[in-house]
């Protein structure tokens, strides 16, 4: 079938992207769902830092690629594979896309989310779906998938392992954010940091993932100490319920430390800030994805003398099918106001400028909402 999508033609374009325009919006041919695949009509897709990392070249991926992975939509067709049939997902259901499909059979899939599925990770790296290959084509050749999803488009074909069903009362933009920002940021707190009841949680870096970590920590009853270089973000953190806020400089001066500190900025300096602010016996959780060349400088004696732990949490150590329903329950109870992470609604043709806003830190989550029947 013919769909409309925004294709990233090249990475590492000069900024501002609004001028270099790495995206083209065009008609694309999408295959029918086969085997364990679903055809999903995308309702909402938001712009995440992992999209930007492909645009700016800091995470090299095969190109051209149809980006977008934080999304939700309505199932329109279902393949006849065993897993698709057994999933209980029906045509008309709303599903959340998740960015790392789990095969359920490899040794990593048996680690309860601590390690990413090796089959899913290999498919993501190759820009294919879990079953191999791409379902996206245009006259000039095939397009690669982004993280098994490719949601900057009117429709997507995805493996059933890339979705989690949610009830119809969860609005699509909220559902979309549950699949990446909340899964990652919330998982860094709950799955990796595992604070004791009532213990304070510090969050360093208040992008979408950091703010989601803040919301989830508050929902679970933890006081939150929020740290970011941008005072506008500290203001929002306070509005969302942070009990203390600091710039990195003010934090260093204050000597404030916490038993669980989440680094969600993806930079070496933020990691050093988070490490320095971790209390004796505490855990520094890093969920950010800095460039592969980044290096940090730490006093290793501190680890020993203060009995400290550093935890790398890949994608929030999440098991999407287990964690998303928990976040839905909290959202429904009014305790997880995910809507507050949405800074604007944009169109598919505004992705270039949206990447500039994300890179400058002036946007949290910019959501593309697709009206039914979106065409060129
Ligand atoms: Zn993401
Ligand atoms: Zn696996």
**Considering only CA atoms, which of 73, 47, 60 is closest in space to residue 10?**
60
Range 107-127 average pLDDT: 96
Please report which confidence band the pLDDT of residue 292 belongs to, taking 50, 70 and 90 as the band edges: confident
Ligand nearest to the CA of 50: 1
User: What sign has the CA pseudo-torsion 197, 277, 215, 263?
Assistant: negative
270: left (phi over 0), alpha (psi -120 to 50) or beta: alpha
Predicted confidence (pLDDT) per residue in 202-223, tens digit: 999 999 999 999 999 999 999 9
pLDDT for residue 372: 79
Compute the distance from residue 260 Cα to the ligand 2 centre, in Å.
29
Q: Which is the CATH superfamily of the domain at 185-316?
A: NAD(P)-binding Rossmann-like Domain (3.40.50.720)
Show Cβ contacts of residue 15 under 8 Å, excluding neighbours closer than 6 positions: 56, 356, 359
pLDDT for residue 116: 93
Share of the chain above pLDDT 70, in %: 100
Ligand nearest to the CA of 48: 1
Ligand nearest to the CA of 99: 1
Compute the distance from residue 186 Cα to the ligand 2 centre, in Å.
22
What pTM value is reported for the model? Answer: 0.95
The residue assigned the tokens 């695949």 is 37
**Does the pLDDT at position 299 exceed 80?**
yes
**Does the pLDDT at position 375 exceed 80?**
no
pLDDT for residue 140: 92
**Does the pLDDT at position 376 exceed 80?**
no
Please report which confidence band the pLDDT of residue 264 belongs to, taking 50, 70 and 90 as the band edges: very high
H or E segment to which residue 176 belongs: helix 172-177
Predicted confidence (pLDDT) per residue in 10-43, tens digit: 999 999 999 999 999 999 999 999 999 999 999 9
CATH number of 2-168+337-369: 3.90.180.10
Q: Where are the domains of the chain?
A: 2-168+337-369, 185-316
Ligand nearest to the CA of 54: 1
Range 356-373 average pLDDT: 91
Predicted confidence (pLDDT) per residue in 309-343, tens digit: 999 999 899 999 999 999 999 999 999 999 999 99
């Amino acid at each position: 079938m013919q769909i409309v999508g925004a294709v990233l033609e090249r990475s590492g374009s000069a900024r501002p992207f609004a001028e270099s325009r790495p995206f083209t919006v065009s008609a694309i041919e999408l295959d029918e769902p086969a085997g364990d695949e679903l055809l999903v009509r995308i309702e909402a897709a938001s712009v995440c830092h992992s999209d930007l990392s492909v645009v700016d070249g800091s995470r090299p991926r095969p190109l051209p690629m149809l980006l977008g992975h934080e999304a939700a939509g309505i199932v329109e067709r279902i393949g006849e594979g065993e897993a698709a049939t057994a999933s209980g997902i029906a045509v008309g259901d709303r599903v959340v896309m998740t960015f790392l499909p789990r095969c359920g059979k490899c040794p990593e899939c048996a680690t309860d989310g601590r390690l990413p599925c090796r089959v899913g990770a290999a498919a993501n790296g190759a820009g294919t779906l879990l079953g191999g290959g791409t379902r996206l084509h245009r006259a000039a050749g095939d397009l690669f998938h982004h993280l098994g999803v490719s949601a900057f488009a009117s429709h997507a074909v995805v493996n059933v392992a890339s979705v989690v069903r949610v009830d119809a009362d969860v609005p699509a933009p909220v559902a979309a954010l549950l699949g990446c920002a909340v899964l990652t940021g919330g998982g860094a707190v709950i799955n990796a940091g595992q604070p004791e009841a009532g213990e304070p949680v510090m969050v360093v870096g208040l992008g979408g993932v950091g703010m989601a970590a803040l919301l989830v920590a508050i929902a679970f009853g933890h006081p939150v100490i929020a740290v970011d270089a941008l005072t506008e973000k500290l203001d929002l953190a306070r509005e969302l319920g942070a009990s203390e806020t600091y710039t990195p400089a003010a934090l260093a001066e204050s000597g404030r430390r916490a038993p669980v500190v989440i680094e969600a900025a993806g930079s070496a300096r933020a990691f050093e800030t988070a490490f320095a602010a971790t209390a004796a016996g505490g855990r520094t959780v890093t969920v950010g994805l800095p460039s592969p060349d980044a290096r940090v400088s730490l006093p290793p004696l501190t680890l020993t003398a203060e009995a400290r732990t550093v935890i790398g949490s890949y994608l929030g150590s999440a098991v999407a099918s287990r964690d998303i329903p928990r976040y839905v329950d909290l959202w429904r109870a009014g305790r997880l106001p995910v809507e507050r992470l949405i800074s604007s609604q944009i169109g598919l043709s505004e992705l270039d400028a949206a990447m500039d806003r994300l890179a400058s830190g002036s946007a949290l989550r910019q959501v593309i909402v697709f009206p039914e029947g979106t065409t060129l």
